Amino acid sequence: MWPDFPLVPEAASSVAREVDLLTLGWLAISAFFTTLIAVLILVFFIHYRRRRAGEVGSTREVRTLPLELTWSLIPLFIALGMFVWGVDVFFTVTEAPPDAVEYWVTGKQWMWKVQHPSGVREINALHVPVGQAVKMTMTSEDVIHSFYVPAFRVKRDVLPGRYSSVWFRPTKTGRYHLFCAEYCGTEHSLMGGFVEVLSAEDYERWLATGTTGPTIQASGAELFQRLACDTCHLPGTDPGATPLRAPSLHGLFGAQVALAGGRTIVADETYIRESIVNPQAKVVAGWQPIMPTFRGQVTEEQLAALVAYVKSLGGATPAVAPGETGAEAGEPPRAEETRRGEPGEILAGEEPVTQ
């Protein structure tokens, strides 16, 4: 393609080529059938044009079944084949590899707020190291948004009240558009910025320019104490200790939880979040529904920190060492210092999307 007038966006993630290939496959099929139909129509239009008034087309009876079967079954098999290919690509695009580093994203009208695993935060910008698989765990403070980076060929709706995730492994350093793809109100088209893919060294350097703060798990742990969650859930102490008033959170994440009422669910991010803001919705079997709600007392980003902390207490995903969180739990909150931008602010060195 000529550079000034691209037909395909830059392919800057590990899955981009696969998506493009799938598209190319469909394009070839589409071009074939469209051309076939167009050529046939033109040829018939010219060749069988009416030559005299009152002329009639062929009234011969024809057997249609063989042709009908041909042009039903061939497209059917093609479509089913493409369906399988499409599903395959879909799972490649959506299933995060185990080594993906988790970032936390909060969408709100009309900005993206990102928390790096190191605790650094940024707004309407995302810095990631090249070659590293990263997973965005995302939620929204208000309406539905959609996290979309065309160069990575990934998109995922960001819903209020639950977590969704998107992952990518950038393969090229550079600057790529980050869009909100789900219409979210007045400044929908301005809700976005750039993803900066940096080399590993540049990323470290970039992280160092911001004030270092506690990791997201550590701020979660601090919050856990400040909100006195630990008085009932006791996770700071010995993982084996038996809590009296509430279930232990050690090893909770990813585990099957039996609920009062007989149902069993998997403890995922959304469940942990719901248990904080609406604790009585799903009470663990054998415990009283005595936990008060924390709705309105914690922001969506603090919720993310709490969820990240509970995740770090072990479970299906690799956990942060318990000692680490315990040690940092006592540190004063540093969240304000680590902010890298105010809401609405466009970070230095970045052009607004719309000039």
CB of 174 to another protein, least distance (A): 14
Which residue of 17, 99, 187, 231 would you call a contact of another protein, by CB under 8 A? 187
Distance CA(304)–CA(165), nearest Å, equals: 13
Q: What is the DSSP letter of 150?
A: G
Does residue 190 touch another protein according to CB under 8 A?
Answer: yes
Q: Are 258 and 287 in contact (CB under 8 A)?
A: no
Does residue 54 touch another protein according to CB under 8 A?
Answer: yes
Whether the upstream peptide bond of residue 112 has omega within 30° of 0, thus cis, is no
Which pair of structure tokens corresponds to residue 318? 């690799």
Q: Are 217 and 310 in contact (CB under 8 A)?
A: no
Unique residue bearing structure tokens 């609406």: 278
In the stretch 225-254, what mask flags binding to another protein with x, by CB under 8 A?
A: ------------------------------
Which residue of 94, 171, 173, 225 would you call a contact of another protein, by CB under 8 A? 94
Does residue 49 touch another protein according to CB under 8 A?
Answer: yes
Unique residue bearing structure tokens 């830059």: 10
Query: Please, which residues have CB within 8 angstroms of residue 232's CB and are 6 or more apart in sequence?
Result: 243, 244, 245, 246, 291
15-34 residues near another protein, rule: CB under 8 A: 18-19, 22-23, 26-27, 29-30, 33-34
Q: Are 101 and 133 in contact (CB under 8 A)?
A: yes
Does residue 255 touch another protein according to CB under 8 A?
Answer: no
Which residue of 17, 48, 211, 330 would you call a contact of another protein, by CB under 8 A? 48
CB of 19 to another protein, least distance (A): 5
Residue (79 or 208) nearer to another protein, CB: 79
Does residue 291 touch another protein according to CB under 8 A?
Answer: no
Does residue 5 touch another protein according to CB under 8 A?
Answer: yes
Residue (84 or 228) nearer to another protein, CB: 84
Q: Are 305 and 194 in contact (CB under 8 A)?
A: no
